[in-house]
A and B are shown apart, each in its own frame.
Chain A
Amino acid sequence: MTAPVTGPVEQAKAAIEYCYAQGWTDGLPVVPATSADIEACLATTDADGAEVIGSVPHLGRSVTVAQAAANAIMAGCQPDYFPIVLAAWQAVRQERASRGAWQSTSGPAPLIVVNGPVRARLGINSRGGVFGPGFRANMTIPRAIGLIVRNGFGVRPQQLEQATQGLPGRWSICLGENEEMSPWPPLSVVGGVPAGSDAVSAMLIRTCEYVDNRSTDSAEAVLHDFADSLARIGAYVGGPHSSGGLVLGPEHAQLLGNAGYSRSDVQQWLFEHAVRSRAEMIAAGKGEHTGPAEDGTAEDGDQPFALMPAAADIPILVAGAANAAMSMVFRPFGWAAWSGKSVPVAYRTSAEKVH
Chain B
Amino acid sequence: MFDSIIDPTVSQANPTEYDRLVLAARPESLSGLRLGLLANTKRNAEQFLDEVGQLLAGQHGMQVVLAMKKPDITSTAPELTLAELSAECDVVVIGVGDCGSCSASAVADGILLEQAGTPSAVIVTEAFTVSADAMAELRGAPRYRYVTVPHPVANLTPDGVRSRAAQARSAIVGLLTEPAMAVSA
Contact = CB atoms under 8 A, between A and B. Distances in A.
Contact of A105 (B12, B74, B100, B108): B100
Contact of A38 (B6, B18, B75, B104): B6
A160 B135 contact: yes
B5 interface: yes
B80 interface: no
Interface string B61-73: 0000000000011
A15 B3 CA distance: 10
Contacts of A59: 135, 138
Interface string A124-159: 000000000000000000000001000110100011
Interface string B101-136: 101110010000000000000000000101100110
A33 B11 contact: no
A152 B11 contact: yes
Nearest to B18: A60
Interface stretch (A66-74, A266-274, A324-332): A66-74
Nearest to B73: A100
Given A160-B134, A162-B100, A99 B74 contact: yes
A165 interface: no
B75 A99 contact: yes
A32 B6 CA distance: 7
A62 B104 contact: no
Contact of B11 (A35, A64, A158, A162): A64
Given A58-B104, A59-B138, A18 B5 contact: yes
Contacts of A151: 8-9
Given A49-B12, A67-B12, A162-B100, A58 B105 contact: yes
B8 to A, nearest CB: 4
Nearest to B5: A32
B185 interface: no
Contact of B10 (A55, A67, A99): A67
- What is the interface of chain B mostly: helix, strand, loop, or mixed? loop
Interface string A15-44: 100110010100000001111011000000
A94 interface: no
A61 interface: yes
A321 interface: no
A37 B4 CA distance: 11
A152 to B, nearest CB: 7
Contacts of A37: 6
A60 B138 contact: yes
B130 A158 contact: yes
A159 B138 CA distance: 11
Contact of A74 (B8, B16, B131): B8
B86 interface: no
A50 B108 CA distance: 28
Interface string B13-39: 101111000000000000000000000
Contact of A159 (B7, B8, B131): B131
A103 interface: yes
Contact of A35 (B4, B72, B100, B101): B4
B77 to A, nearest CB: 10
A52 B75 contact: no
B12 A162 contact: no
A14 B12 contact: no
Give the top 7 A-B pairs by smallest Cβ distance, nearest first: A162-B100, A60-B16, A100-B74, A103-B101, A62-B13, A151-B8, A70-B8
26 contacts: A32-B5, A32-B6, A33-B8, A37-B6, A52-B13, A55-B13, A57-B75, A58-B74, A58-B76, A58-B135, A63-B11, A64-B11, A67-B11, A67-B12, A100-B74, A103-B101, A103-B104, A104-B100, A147-B8, A151-B9, A152-B9, A152-B11, A160-B135, A162-B100, A162-B101, A162-B131
Given A49-B12, A57-B75, A63-B13, 15 more contacts: A24-B7, A32-B2, A32-B6, A34-B5, A58-B108, A60-B18, A61-B11, A70-B8, A99-B74, A100-B74, A151-B9, A159-B130, A160-B131, A161-B100, A163-B100
Interface of B: 1-2, 4-13, 15-18, 72-76, 99-101, 103-105, 108, 128, 130-131, 134-135, 138-139
